[in-house]
Amino acid sequence: MAPQRRGAPKAPEGSGAAERRRPNSQAVSRRMRCPQLCTCSMKNVRAPRETQRKWLRAAALGACAALTALLLWGSLGGDDGVTEVLAHRSEVLLGRFIEVPCSEDYDSHRRFEGCSPRKCGRGVTDAVITRDEARRIRSIAEKGLSLGGSDGGASILDLHSGALSVGRHFVNLYRYFGDKVQNIFSEEDFQLYRDVRQKVQLAIAQAFGISASSLYLTKPTFFSRINSTEARTAHDEYWHAHVDKVTYGSFDYTSLLYLSDYLDDFGGGRFMFMEEGANKTVEPRAGRVSFFTSGSENLHRVEKVLWGTRYAVTIAFTCNPDHGIADPVLT
């Protein structure tokens, strides 16, 4: 006998079960609207996410742009700290001079009336040495440094003492290379060197209102060649701030003749007078002469060279004849 299918028991009238089984029109209406509600809800969720993504993309692009600018600035020779350009590489200066108060450094040294600094300051000129003279002077440096050169980033050639960087040491090129030196340099080279020194000496005397005959060349006076090679010894660490009168007691007036061009021949390597608030920067230009009194009023340093090769010659003067040195002679 086939089993009979029982129907679902009827709920008593008035019971809650029947009410629960009865479709609720409001509930059905809500369920029918659910897809739209869900869609709206998802859109509301996605909207902040899309905004966040756009913001993140904008922030990333901004960071990349800033990093690119920073790297470009660094590759062109930028350095930390705020700087003001005292002499721009594109300028051709007949003369620019800034007077500053003298430090007390000179009081601890013997004074020479009419020469020892009473008027202190710093100057820049492109009108003393021609670019052709600078090119020829640079050739002297290149020939001498071809005999040696530092393992680090800074090489020195001193025609007065004969000091030449070789590896991690210095040698006397006149003794070390002997007669070979006369095959490297010519008498015309040394005469040009003396002529340039005299022009720089006269420019310093005129700027500070002293007699050129009261100034004496002093040591060290030397060529420098700087590149981006990592320093090997303390002699290669040229970038530290210093005071010439403290480092070299004989210095009263310091000058630098630049033999290569900032951003054309090298990046970095600018000369900086260190001051509170803003450093004063000189951008090297072949033939440009930068000069200044040697005391603490002119604390300075050179930026690290980032690429290329920077050539210059430091020419120092003293008021004390006991500290004077002679011009180099090819013997």
Please report which helix (H) or strand (E) contains residue 189, including its range. helix 187-208
Rounded-to-integer distance, Cα 76 and Cα 122, Å: 25
Whether 131 sits among the annotated catalytic residues: the reply is no
- Among 306, 312, 225, 228, which residue's Cα sits nearest to residue 263? 306
Please pick, among 197, 270, 285, 310, the residue that the annotation labels catalytic.
310
The Cα–Cα gap between 220 and 140 comes to 17
Rg of the chain in Å (alpha carbons): 38
Residue owning tokens 């899309």:
50
In this structure, the number of other CB atoms found within 10 A of the CB of residue 261 comes to 20
Tell me the C-alpha to C-alpha distance, in Å, between residue 87 and each of 79, 83, 253, 326. Answer: 16, 12, 19, 31
Q: 251 is written with which tokens?
A: 């210095």
Q: Which residues are catalytic?
A: 310
